[in-house]
Structure formats: C-alpha cells, structure tokens
Structure 1
Amino acid sequence: MDYHDLLARLGEGSAHPGGFSATLQLLDTLSIPAGVHILEIGCGTGRTACHLARHGCRVTAVDLHRHMLDKAVRRARKERVDVRFIQADVAALPLPDNHVDVVFIESVTIFTPWRKALSEYSRVLKPGGLLVDREMILSGRKTDLMSRKLKQFYGIRTLATVLGWKKRLREYGFSNIEVKEHSRKMGKWGVDHDPLREMDMNWLEDENVQRMSRTNDRLLMKYGKRLGYAVFTARVPSEAKHK
C-alpha cells in the first residue's frame, strides 16, 4: 500500500490545501462558462468533475488509480451527471490534439514526470486554451534527504519554486502565465462534508494505515515549513501549435 492507495481507500478526493472549499473558490474566480470542455487530470473520486458537469461543462476526467475511478463513476451515477471517466497516465493521455478548452489540475503534476505532463497538457489543449494547476511548491531549502523522503512516502517526483514552475511552463510553450494564489506554507488540509464519500471503514483500524498516518505527521513536522503551494494559470498561444 502506498500513499495514493491510502487516499483511495479513505475516499479522499480533495487532498490539497484548503480541500474542496478551495476548489470551489478557485472555480468562482475563473468564471468558466457552461458548455466548455474541461479535462480534469487526477480526478480522484470525481467530486470536482461532477460539480463541473452539474454546472453545464462538458467534462472528461482521468485518473491512474482504478479504485478512485470506481468511486468516481458511482458518484456520477448518484448525482445523475454525465462525465467521461478514463483510466490513464498523464504522460500519455489517450486524447486527440487540440481537444479541450481547459485542463484543470490540483496536486497531480508533482507526482508525474513533469516534462511529459506539461507536453501532454499543451498537446490536448486547443489554441488559446486555459491551463489551471494547483501544486505544492518549494519555499525553503531542498536537500537530497528531503527529496528522497518525500518521493519514498508520497511519490513526489519533482519540487520547484514559483519561479521554477513559471520557467517550466514557458519552456513548454505556455504564455500569459499568472499566479492566482501563492502561500509559502502548506496550510491546513480542508475538511469538507462530502455526503457521497465512500470510505473503506475496515481500513481505519489497519496497522499499516496507522503507521502511514504517523509517518505523514512526522514528515510534515520536519519539512512542512519548506513547502508551500501555488495556483498557476497559463494559456496555449492562439496560433497553430501542432504541425
């Protein structure tokens, strides 16, 4: 069992600073109109994807974790919304070029080979399309031990400063890059009431879960002051991209 298995079993679909409340606040600031085709990367249990669909967006949602997707599909059925769910790796999205208007991501890119991820985000976005990405950022000194520990437990594959992320986005052809939110501290994870949350209750007493919880607390205590988060928005240029 790894960290992502734990989130899936606990039915946690908004594992980022501020939780689902922060997601709703972000979406309010973006004012995405109905009818827009949105691709959510790392949709988890489908809470955001279903919210977007309920508000008139065309939604495609991908996640690599089968157990997460199963819960997302059941949520969409209960909410009676139409979402296209796909099990896929962000490094090789099974979607055509220039396919969606918005790519929406929250705390996913840091777990991926970021070069392939950014390339795929750019590829599937239409010219002029919008990228929205909330990610953990480095706000203090990074050490080899810190990187190794965060990768070993959480699966984090990359950490960068705000300037580092902006440079990466420019490198992969994005323009109009803005930082919508920025905190040098991770803050507290939001705890929102989710009436459709599916929690595998038998896991709560599992020794592995309890041990992972203690490890999580230790890592946040040790490294939390060096980590923050930011929300980036960027555009794919309107001129032709793929020749």
Structure 2
Amino acid sequence: MNYLKMLSLLGIGGAHPGGLSLTKKIFESEQIPLNRIILDAGCGTGQTASYLYQLGYPITGLDFDPQMIQHAKKRNQQLNIEIPYLNEDLSHTSLPANTFDLILSESVLNFTSLPDTLSEISRILKQNGLVIAIEMIRKAPLSSDEEDELKAFYGCNGIFSVSEWEKQFTQNGFTIYKVLNEEDLILQDMGEPSTEFSPVEALPDDAFTLLSEHEKISNKYGNKLTFSVFFARKTILK
C-alpha cells in the first residue's frame, strides 16, 4: 500500500498542507468572483468542492481514485447538494477545451506526470484562466537517500524547490504571477477540524502502520520541507 491508497482507504479529506483552513484563507484573500467556473482537480473526498459550492461557486470535482469519488458523492447525499464528480485521470480528461476559469489543485500535481497534466490543464482552461496549486516544497538540501525515502513514501516525482516548481509551470505554458510561502500565510483557528476521516468498513492493518509512518516522516523532515501556493495564468500565445 502507498500513501495515496492510505488516504483513500481512510477517507481522509483536507490532507493537503494547511488543510481546509488554507483553502478558506486563499479564497477570502483573493476575492475570486462567484461566477468563476472552477475545477477541483484531485478533489479527494470532496471537502473543498463542498465548501466552494456552498459559497456559491459553480464547481466540478475530478479524481483518479474511484473510492475518493464515492466518498465525495456520499458527501453530496449527506448535504443534499449536487456537485458533479468525474472519476478521471487529470492528464487525460473527457472535459471540453476552454471550460474552466479556475483550476484548483491541492497537493496533486506532484503525483502526476507534470508535462502531461499541465498540458491538459492548459487545454481545459479558458484564455486568461487561472491555476491555484498548493504543493510541497524543499526548503533545505536533501541527500540522495533522503529524497529517495520521500519519493518512495509519497509516490511523488520529486521534491522540488520553489524555483524548480516555477520552471515546471513556465515550461508548460503558464506564467506565475504570485507565490505565497508558508510564512506568508498565518492560518487562524477556524474552530473546526481541518482534516476529516471517513474510513471504509474493512481496513487492512497496514493502513494504520502507514499513517504512523507518515507522522514519523513529517517529524523527521519538518525542517527541510514546507509548502507554497502558486498562482499561475495560462500563457496567451501570440
């Protein structure tokens, strides 16, 4: 079992850095108009999509994991809301071109093939469309063994610095217009848990072992890893 499968089995929502509190802060500070059509790319259990829907945004959720989509649809039923959810690969969707004003990606891109995914995101974004991406960042040097350990545990492609992330966006058709680092974001207590758990009925023993290992990894690399929020605009071709 890998890290992403653990999230799915435990039905963990808000697992991205900063959790739902960070998402709320972003949308409060950016004052994004309510008529903007949003894709929650890698929507997980639908926690963020549900929050934005209840604010009044037209939103669609997409996730590669069918179990996450089941969690999200169950949330729809519980809240009596109607958010469309797609069980698709973000690097190759069935969505029409030029569909969305904004694509939100919360700790998702680094688990995908970035050239394929960013190309697809560009295709389904409208001209001048925006991407808001929350991603894990390397803030101090990692040895080869340390990076291999992190990549093996999280199943990600690499542990990038801010400048390396900016290069990925630029090379794939986006212009970065703002980056917020962890120290730029003072997250106030929202009076509610940021991370949710909604496990499936039968859980393998190693799910809890992996959860414990995640805590150890987080503590071990706390001084070398952080997160940033990237704000990017689809590059207009002249």
So what's the TM-score if we normalise by structure 1? Answer: 0.86
Residue 20 of structure 2 corresponds to which residue in structure 1?
20
Matched, 1:76 2:111: no
* Unaligned runs of at least 5 residues, structure 2: none
Equivalent pair of 1:133/1:232 in contact (CA under 8 Å): yes
Equivalent pair of 1:45/1:68 in contact (CA under 8 Å): yes
Aligned residues: CA RMSD: 2.5
Residue 87 of structure 1 corresponds to which residue in structure 2?
87
Q: Distance in 2 between matches of 1:133 and 1:28?
A: 16
Q: Distance in 1 between matches of 2:110 and 2:52?
A: 23
Q: Describe the SS at the equivalent of 2:228.
A: strand
**Quick one: which of 209, 225, 228 aligns to 1:227?**
225
Amino acid at match of 2:95: L
Q: Distance in 1 between matches of 2:153 and 2:192?
A: 25
Residue 214 of structure 1 corresponds to which residue in structure 2?
212
* Match runs of 1:150-161 below 5 Å: 150-161=150-161
Equivalent pair of 2:98/2:126 in contact (CA under 8 Å): yes
Residue 43 of structure 1 corresponds to which residue in structure 2?
43
Residue 110 of structure 1 corresponds to which residue in structure 2?
110
Matched, 1:148 2:158: no
* Match runs of 1:115-194 below 5 Å: 115-183=115-183, 192-193=192-193
Q: Describe the SS at the equivalent of 2:91.
A: helix
Q: Distance in 1 between matches of 2:16 and 2:127?
A: 29
When residues 88 and 191 of structure 1 are mapped into structure 2, their CA distance, relative to the original with a 3 A threshold, is farther
Residue by residue over 1:127-185, the C-alpha shift from the partner in whole angstroms, topping out at 9 and shown as x without a partner, is 0111100000111113322232222221111221111111221222212521033459x
Amino acid at match of 1:225: N
Q: Distance in 1 between matches of 2:39 and 2:183?
A: 26
Amino acid at match of 1:78: Q
* Unaligned runs of at least 5 residues, structure 1: none
